[in-house]
Every structure is written in structure tokens, then in C-alpha cells.
Amino acid sequence: MEKVRDLVREGKRVAKEDPRRVVHSFKVGLVLSLVSSFYYYQPLYDSFGVNAMWAVMTVVVVFEFSVGATLGKGLNRVAATLFAGALGIGAHHLASLSGSTGEPILLAIFVFIQAALSTFVRFFPRVKARYDYSLLIFILTFALISVSGFREEQVLVLTHKRISTVIIGGLSCVLISIFVCPVWAGQDLHSLLASNVEKLSFFLLEFGDKYCETVKDGDTKEVDKRKNDFDNYKSVLNSKSNEESLANFAKWEPGHGQFRFRHPWKQYLSIGGLIRQCAYRIDALNSYLNADIQVSIDIRKKLEEPFRRMSFESGKAMKEMSVSLTKMIKPSSSDLHVRNAQSACKSLTSLLHSGILKEVESQELISLLTAISLLIDIINLTENILESLHELASAARFKDKTESPIFAEKPNSKSIVCGWATKGQDDHVVTIVNDDCCNGNTSEKGNRSNKVLIHEKHEDCVHEKHEDDDAHVHSSCDSYGHTSLRVIVECR
């Protein structure tokens, strides 16, 4: 009974991890029930006979979890069956010309040559990646057709029945896979990359505080959640095989949703490789948090401001890239965070050149400089990931980011100013498109478009005052890195 309960718990866990697995199980059962009718329904059995079992076998080996995997296997199996069937008939015909004595010898030679060559070709990396299953079916079908044809008089009828049942089984799998709760490998690959980038961002956003020992314990549940998020990057280290298989399956899929037929899936693998390189640096950097040799608290405090900014800005850039991937919009704001991280890196370098580490012991110095070097590598890789993401956004035709309008209160009136924030090189510009300030003279000021310059400073607080014509503007930023602004307009 205990084993049964363990199996039930395991089944619930698997189903909870991905409910699509339950749906897929029902889909496989549905297709097998449909193709089994070739055996149960007498008119169909009379047409295909025992060969109807090939339809059942095709469903069992072809139906996969995603549409791309099913479509790839189905097309490979049908193509290999057709080609091998044609060659098998040809081999049987040539062997039959040599008489009853030479026919089995020639058939054995043909099977040997075909099997040896096909097996050798399966070792080619490109062939193995996409056509390994096709070659396997080719070997099997050729051997079955040519060998069984030696005892079967009606070889063409046998071949026709087997090919027909294989096509029926494969087509059933493909249709059910596409039209009944489809699972798209391309969508899974896209979501996987967005999730991996987000996992790296969680680490970088927290690392600066942890390294400088400025994190407060707070609520126990919140601490546990932050610790889990902090360590989530480790799953990125072993994601290569999953990404490659998903990209291979995605190439077989038809266009769906926002993914066109010739979507640049190869670019996803390039981005995934850069993400893993970054994850390796992060894994190495994480080891310095609890290392035996640590730099003194005083030195950390002196380096805290630029060090935290380097980690925080890199994390914000990663977070923005994750959001842009999820929403399939161009990563416009990530460039600013990368530049801020590079600026903090220059500040830290200047601080190190000032001689602040003269009294630090050699072992502590090596530990500190290694951590800084790894963080600089992470910033450079963040920039490379962003460049690759820009290339993907251009090739995949990501949408431009639509900015939300900003509503500004006027303390001396009951009206609202509406505008949009647009990003400049180092600033945000709010263009006021509806200003009824100074209603007494609408002809001169009611239709005017004012521009408010808002400089971004540090972390989550921005303050800037700018006067344009007769409007006095004070602004503050509620959310660092986003266009969530409060604008107060005072009329003179």
C-alpha cells in the first residue's frame, strides 16, 4: 500500500508540474483507439489485413509531446517508408532476374550494402540531429520489403498496404497533435530562454547586497523565497540539450501565433549559449559569498556603492530582457541599464586605482579582484546577450514597445495633463499633449506642447526641475527603469 501511495503522489507531482502531460496522455489514447478500428472494423480489415497493425505501431513510435517532434517523426517515417519501399521493390526485381539460386544471395548483398551505408551516414552530426529516425526506418523498411518479398508473390500489394497504413497512422498523429490542445516546441523554447534570463536577473539583483552584507533577514518566508530565487540560476547550467532539442523540433512546426514558419530559431541557440556562459560566471561568483577568505567589512563598505550598482544594473538589464522576450517587444530600456553598469564599472576601477587596497592582504586581494573580474565579465556578457536579442528582435519582427501615457496633476486646478515618456540618450522626455493650464488664455497656451526633461539618477529615485515657458514642472520616478512617473505641473 505504501508503494501505491508513493506512485499516486508521484503522479500528482508530475501532473502538477505540467498539466499538458495529462492532456497528451489522453491524446495518445484517442489516436490509438481510432487506428485500432482497422482491426476491429471488418471492411477495413478486409482491405488491409494484418498490415493494419503497422498503423498502430506508427502511432506508438511517432506520437510525441510537441507538435514539432510529432511532425518531424511523422514526415521522416513516411518519407523513409516510401523511399525504402521503392528501393526494396527494385532490389527484389533485380534479384529475381538471377534465378532461384542467385536471388537470395543478391538480396543478402543488397541488404548488407544498404544497412552498412545507412548506419554509417547516421553518424554524421547534421544527419543525426534531424534525420536519424528517418534512416532507422529506412533500414527497417528496406529489409522487411526485400526479405519478405522473397516468400511473397504479390510484392507490390504488400508494399502498398504497408505504406498506406504507415501514412494513415502518421497522419492521424499529426492532425490530433496540431488541432487538439497543441503543444508548440517553439513556444516552449521561447519561454525557456525568457525564464533563464529572469533566473540570472534574480541573482544579480540580490548579489550586490549579499556580498556587501546589507541584506536584512525580515520575514522567514520571504527570506526562503529570495534564497530559492537566488539559487535558481543553477538550472540554467544544464539547459543546452533541452534548448537544442526544442530548436530542432521547432524547425518542423508550421507558423503559429507570433512565430512565423521561418522563425530564426538558430538565433535562440546563440542567445542560449551566451546565457549559459553568464550562468557559469555567476556560479563562480556565488562561491565567493561563503569563501573562507573574505575581504574586511571596511573595504567592502568603501567599494559598496559602485559594486552594488554594477550588480543591480546588470540584473535590471536582464530583467528587462526577460520581459521583452516574454512579450516579444524590442528591449529598449535594457541599453540604459547596461550603460549604467559600465559606468559603475569605470567608477569602481577609478576607486581601485586610488590606492584603497594598499593595506589589504594578498589572499584577500586576490579574492576581491577575482570577484570584481567575474562581475565585469558578467556585464560584458549582458551586453552581448542584449546585442543578440536586438538581432533576434529584428529578425523575428518584435513589436516596438508602446509607452503608457503619463497623467500629471495640477495642484491649482482640477485638470489633468496627459503625455508620453520617450527615452533619449541619458534622459526621459515627457511630451505634454493636452495642457489646459492657464485656461484664461487658451489661444496662446491651451494648444501648446511642452517638453519636460527628466534626468535619471540612481536606483529608484529621480528628481529634476525644469521650466518650459510658463509651466513649472517637478517630477519624480516611482519605479526605476520603467516609465512610471509622477509629474506635478504648477501654472504661473
Residue 461 lies in a domain: no
How many domains are contained in the chain? 2
| Spatial separation of the C-alpha atoms in residues 317 and 320, rounded to whole Å | 5
At residue 487, the pLDDT reads 43
Phi and psi of 216, rounded to 5°? -95, 150
Residues 9-49 pLDDT 10s: 888 888 898 899 999 999 999 999 988 887 777 787 777 77
At residue 228, the pLDDT reads 60
Same domain, 175 and 238: no
Q: What is the CATH number of the domain that holds 337?
A: 1.20.58.220
Q: Given strand 450-455, what is the order of strands in its sheet? A: 450-455, 427-434, 416-423, 405-409, 484-491, 471-479, 463-468
Q: Which of these three, 396, 427, 457, is where a domain ends?
A: 396
Task: List the chain residues with pLDDT less than 70.
Answer: 149-154, 213-229, 402-492
Same domain, 165 and 210: no
At residue 482, the pLDDT reads 39
Residue 299 lies in a domain: yes
Same domain, 117 and 192: no
Same domain, 7 and 128: yes
Residues 1-13 pLDDT 10s: 788 888 888 888 8
Residue 325 lies in a domain: yes
Residue 208 lies in a domain: yes
Rg (CA), the chain: 32
Q: Can you name the residues that pair with 429 across neighbouring β-strands?
A: 422, 453
Same domain, 167 and 41: yes
Residue 447 lies in a domain: no
At residue 227, the pLDDT reads 59
Q: Which distant-in-sequence residues (6+ apart) come within 8 Å of 330 by Cβ?
A: 324, 390, 393, 398, 399, 400, 401
Residue 390 lies in a domain: yes
Residues 364-421 pLDDT 10s: 888 888 888 999 999 999 999 999 999 999 999 888 876 554 444 444 444 444 444 4
Residue 444 lies in a domain: no
Does the pTM surpass 0.85? The reply is no
Q: Which of these three, 396, 419, 454, is where a domain ends?
A: 396
Same domain, 287 and 376: yes
Helix (H), strand (E) counts: the chain: 17, 7
| 261 and 255 Cβ atoms separated by less than 8 Å | yes
At residue 243, the pLDDT reads 94
Same domain, 146 and 193: no
Same domain, 159 and 197: no
Residue 311 lies in a domain: yes
Domain that holds residue 125: 1-179
| Spatial separation of the C-alpha atoms in residues 59 and 48, rounded to whole Å | 17
Same domain, 254 and 173: no
Same domain, 115 and 92: yes
Q: Which of these three, 349, 367, 396, is where a domain ends?
A: 396
Same domain, 150 and 292: no
Same domain, 309 and 271: yes
| 157 and 100 Cβ atoms separated by less than 8 Å | no
| Spatial separation of the C-alpha atoms in residues 260 and 274, rounded to whole Å | 24
